[in-house]
Amino acid sequence: MFASARRAYDSGSKTTASGRELEARALYKAARLLEECRLAWDAADRPQRLDDALRYNLKLWTFFQGELASPQCELPREIRINLLRISQFVDKRSFTMLATPTPEGVKALIDIDRHIASGLSAQLEPTPAAPVAGA
């Protein structure tokens, strides 16, 4: 079941966007959903929207954990370990926010998601060409 889902993800990412682009977009979406809840903290529907946003973020980071732990992961070992540590923090903070939510606790998750997404997006930007001498 998961193998077919992975193949569908891989084939879709080749035709629409790279894996890193998809990951960055998903992280930005998670951050946006959480930020919307943080900004409307007193809204009547915030508990349900926050629950949905936290669960989306948890699923996303669970996917990353699986990818990072995979023997096929091409990232350097040190980066994988650091990202797995971040994912542990995200898990712990998310479960805390599900039980006793605070705007500050949600802000930490937003910042992490945006920071990692920004790093992924930066990897996608083309490197500027070096000036040609004498040109």
Task: For residue range 59-84, list pLDDT tens digits in order.
Answer: 999 999 999 999 999 889 999 999 99
What is d(CA 123, CA 35) in angstroms, rounded to the nearest whole number?
Answer: 24
86-108 per-position pLDDT tens digit: 999 999 999 999 999 999 999 99
* pTM, rounded to two decimals: 0.77
What are the structural domains of the chain? 20-124 (1.20.120)
Q: Given pLDDT bands bounded at 50, 70 and 90, which one contains residue 16?
A: very low
Tell me the helix, strand and coil percentages in the chain, rounded to 5. Answer: 80, 0, 20
Question: Is the CB of residue 83 less than 8 Å from the CB of residue 64?
Answer: yes
What is d(CA 52, CA 80) in angstroms, rounded to the nearest whole number?
Answer: 27
